[in-house]
């Protein structure tokens, strides 16, 4: 590869071109280098090797059955207590009615994540999956983070395996990747003390994969974590993926500095910069060689930066969302949803091929043009 300005990138570029795995130290160089054009070219090389110009999105609706939560993660602006202003707590019928009101033809995925409600029994969650599958036949239910699965196992006094088996039996198709935050204990103690541990998160995903439930993985960055801690996070995911092969995509999520305790404690008002976001995506694409997709989640990146990210290793910009609430309650200035046409246009205008997919990354439709 020509034009490499940072000599430390030479051996890394060789490894990438030969399809060899990068070391932890290589990852640190990628985080530190000022030679961003080379970083971008390397990430793009891997993205095109894996998927050519294809770029995926999903017609999906975001649902949070409640925002009542007792866990108290310090970065979270979504959680509410019982009776607090802005709290909601839907019954099964109310969730179904909420989705019916917003239902659009061709909807592929219902994505459910919410707070840890202290009073709902586990049977409520099974009923919810069953009701969604009954009322919206053909739509896939991608539901509940490992943190929520851990909560269910505590309230139902069941093992992770028993919880996941019951959810799968009820119709669960896939799991989102939230709750991972940053695995390092130092960070977790400060930002997510009462949540599932890193080991618990990984054990739940391992079990889900063993049961044939594919999952995603996230990383919340841009707060107090070091670059080594970001890499350690990815390293643990890479090792689990070597074992199971059950992860579909990796989704870096930028910390949103509004309305949460952590932002107040840190005196932090700024969002991560575009370059930090892009660099992080590129490092993920290069380091996580065994992950099929790196997702540039437009709701935190902005649609404009998500479009740019397609040259930095990203092969998926997530979905229509319809009414996203979690990152928007933390200050994300992006729209709460985009249409399929808007998503396809963003991708086409970047010179890539928009592919509408389902929750399991099966192709639904290739958009070769955008209808007026
Ligand atoms: S991130 Fe999730 S578990 Fe943590 S406080 Fe917010 S809703 Fe609760």
In the chain (372 residues long), the average pLDDT of successive 10-residue segments reads 94 98 98 98 98 97 95 93 94 97 93 96 98 97 98 98 98 98 97 97 98 98 96 98 98 90 87 94 98 95 95 95 80 84 95 97 91 62
- What φ, ψ does residue 33 adopt, rounded to 5°? -65, 145
- Cβ partners under 8 Å of residue 42, min gap 6: 1, 9, 12, 13, 16, 282, 286
61 strand-pairing partners: 110
For position 324, what pLDDT does the model report? 78
Q: Which atom of ligand 1 is nearest to the CA of 70?
A: 8
Tell me, in angstroms, the distance from the centre of ligand 1 to residue 57's CA.
Answer: 26
Tell me, in angstroms, the distance from the centre of ligand 1 to residue 138's CA.
Answer: 30
221 strand-pairing partners: 254
For position 372, what pLDDT does the model report? 55
Cα Rg of the chain, angstroms: 20
Q: How far apart are CA 94 and CA 98, in angstroms?
A: 6
For position 337, what pLDDT does the model report? 87
Q: How far apart are CA 199 and CA 337, in angstroms?
A: 34
Q: Is 76 in the pocket of ligand 1 (CB under 6 A)?
A: yes
Q: Is 73 in the pocket of ligand 1 (CB under 6 A)?
A: yes
* Coil vs helix vs strand at 353: strand
pTM: 0.96
Q: Is 72 in the pocket of ligand 1 (CB under 6 A)?
A: yes
Q: Which atom of ligand 1 is nearest to the CA of 75?
A: 1
Tell me, in angstroms, the distance from the centre of ligand 1 to residue 72's CA.
Answer: 6
Tell me, in angstroms, the distance from the centre of ligand 1 to residue 168's CA.
Answer: 23
Give the β-pairing of 353-357 and 363-366.
antiparallel
* Coil vs helix vs strand at 80: strand
């Amino acid at each position: 590869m020509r034009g490499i300005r940072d000599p430390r990138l030479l051996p890394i570029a060789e490894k990438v071109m030969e399809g060899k795995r990068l070391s932890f130290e290589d990852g640190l160089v990628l985080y530190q280098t000022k030679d961003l054009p080379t970083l971008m070219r390397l990430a793009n090389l891997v993205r095109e090797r894996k998927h050519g110009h294809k770029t995926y999105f999903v017609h999906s609706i975001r649902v949070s059955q409640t925002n009542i939560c007792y866990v108290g993660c310090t970065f979270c602006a979504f959680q509410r207590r019982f009776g607090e202003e802005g709290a909601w707590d839907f019954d099964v019928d109310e969730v179904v009615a909420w989705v019916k009101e917003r239902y659009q033809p061709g909807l592929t995925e219902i994505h459910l994540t919410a707070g840890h409600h202290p009073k709902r029994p586990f049977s409520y969650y099974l009923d919810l999956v069953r009701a969604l599958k009954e009322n919206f036949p053909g739509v896939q239910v991608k539901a509940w983070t490992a943190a929520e699965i851990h909560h269910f196992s505590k309230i139902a006094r069941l093992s992770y395996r028993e919880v996941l088996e019951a959810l799968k039996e009820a119709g669960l198709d896939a799991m989102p990747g939230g709750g991972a935050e940053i695995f390092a204990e130092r960070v977790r103690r400060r930002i997510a003390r009462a949540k599932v541990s890193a080991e618990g998160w990984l054990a739940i995903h391992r079990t889900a994969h063993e049961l044939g439930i594919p999952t995603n993985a996230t990383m919340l960055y841009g707060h107090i974590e070091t670059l080594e801690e970001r890499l350690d996070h990815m390293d643990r995911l890479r090792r689990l993926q070597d074992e199971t092969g059950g992860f579909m995509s990796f989704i870096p999520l930028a910390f949103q500095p509004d309305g949460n305790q952590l932002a107040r404690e840190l005196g932090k008002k700024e969002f991560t910069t575009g370059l930090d976001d892009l660099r992080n995506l590129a490092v993920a694409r290069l380091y996580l060689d065994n992950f099929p997709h790196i997702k540039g989640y437009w709701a935190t990146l902005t649609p404009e930066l998500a479009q740019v990210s397609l040259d930095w290793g990203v092969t998926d910009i997530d979905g229509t969302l319809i009414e996203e609430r979690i990152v928007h309650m933390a200050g994300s200035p992006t729209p709460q949803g985009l249409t399929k046409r808007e998503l396809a246009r963003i991708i086409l205008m970047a010179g890539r091929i928009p592919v509408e997919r389902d929750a399991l990354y099966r192709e639904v439709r290739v958009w070769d043009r955008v209808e007026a």
